[in-house]
Amino acid sequence: MREQKDRCIFFVLENFFFLIPLPFVDKVIENSLPEEREPETEFIDLWAESGKNSKNKYCILINCKEEKFGVPAAEILGFRDIAEGQVWELTEPVRVKKNRYLCAAHETQLEDGRKVLAYLLDVDELRPWRKEEA
pTM for this one? 0.79
Reported as a single tens digit per residue, the pLDDT across 10-21 is 999 988 999 999
CB atoms closer than 10 angstroms to residue 26: 15
Residue type, 39: P
30: domain range? 5-133
- The number of folded domains in the chain is 1
Sheet holding 67-73, edge to edge: 25-30, 58-64, 67-73, 42-43
Reported as a single tens digit per residue, the pLDDT across 66-97 is 778 888 899 999 999 987 777 888 887 777 77
Residue 127 backbone phi and psi in degrees, to 5: -60, -60
